Amino acid sequence: MTNAATNGRRRNPKMSEVIARELATHIVEAGLAPGSVLPTEREMIESFAVGRATIREALRLLETRNVITIRPGPGGGPVVRRPRPCDLGEALSLILQFEDASLDDVMEARRALEPMIARLAAERISDAEIEVLDETVRLIEASPEDPEVFHEQNRTFHSTLCRAAHSVVLEVFLDSLASVADGVSGGVTYSPRRYLAAARMHATIVTALRARDGAAAEQAMREHMDETRAYWHKKYRDLASRPVVWRG
């Protein structure tokens, strides 16, 4: 049984939850890739020595948590899916709807996290990753009139930086913030001048990263975030106050 399952401070878990956790741990430890076929319901009933209702409840729980999908029909059954970092965005959007949070609250959290990411990345980023960042700046500068180029390169810039920080938890948090923000603000575009200004700020951050200067990278990112927020508040006040809604 897992560490979490035996933690005395929690309520007694139901048998279906214990089985769900064992199956999740099995998938992780055996390194099963998405698409891997799991034993059938019948086989699980036998190997866990429990009733059909308990196995169904365990599989259902794993399905609602995106650990597996259940293929319908004859020859169907449980198949590995694996939860993804962006799945947290769904759970986050639900809680934030109940907490009356706005897009501005989401952006404030990003404003707090990104400078920390830049600081950590400065110590850990590889030369190859710095080249990727540099390329995103060049591509935006080459086509400042194209919102699609900006959005793709902006996303690559921030996700590359995030991976370079080697902090799996912060990466999951930022992924979930990005997915909540996209759900609220999706489709907004800005001017070429704005895109060039963002590229220049990105270039300043890259310079600090290249110098492995964590404090400077943090500071440059904070200025980038503050500046973006000020712009946003001036031009898109209504967007900032939009409520977060569960994406279901």
Binding site for a second copy (CB under 8 A): 2-5, 7-10, 13, 17-18, 20-21, 24-25, 27-28, 61, 64-65, 67, 82-85, 87-88, 91-101, 105-106, 108-109, 112-113, 115-117, 120, 167-170, 172-173, 177, 182-184, 186-187, 242, 245-248
CB of 111 to a second copy, least distance (A): 9
CB of 153 to a second copy, least distance (A): 18
What is the SS3 assignment for 243? Answer: strand
Among candidate residues 15, 66, 73, 64, the one with its CA nearest the CA of residue 44: 15
**Are the CB atoms for 74 and 215 separated by under 8 Å?**
no
What is the SS3 assignment for 79? Answer: strand
Q: Which is nearer to a second copy, 74 or 186 (CB)?
A: 186
**Are the CB atoms for 157 and 151 separated by under 8 Å?**
no
CB of 50 to a second copy, least distance (A): 16
CB of 195 to a second copy, least distance (A): 20
Q: Which is nearer to a second copy, 124 or 235 (CB)?
A: 124
Rounded distance between C-alpha atoms, residue 241 and residue 213, angstroms: 35
Q: Which is nearer to a second copy, 122 or 184 (CB)?
A: 184
Q: Which is nearer to a second copy, 41 or 63 (CB)?
A: 63
CB of 135 to a second copy, least distance (A): 25
CB of 41 to a second copy, least distance (A): 18
Q: Which is nearer to a second copy, 70 or 170 (CB)?
A: 170
Q: Which is nearer to a second copy, 51 or 243 (CB)?
A: 243
Rounded distance between C-alpha atoms, residue 138 and residue 142, angstroms: 6
Q: What b/e readout covers 64-103, taking b as 16+ CB neighbours within 10 angstroms? A: eeebbebeeeeeebbebbbeeeebbbbebbeebeeeebbb
Rounded distance between C-alpha atoms, residue 152 and residue 102, angstroms: 24
**Are the CB atoms for 32 and 42 separated by under 8 Å?**
no
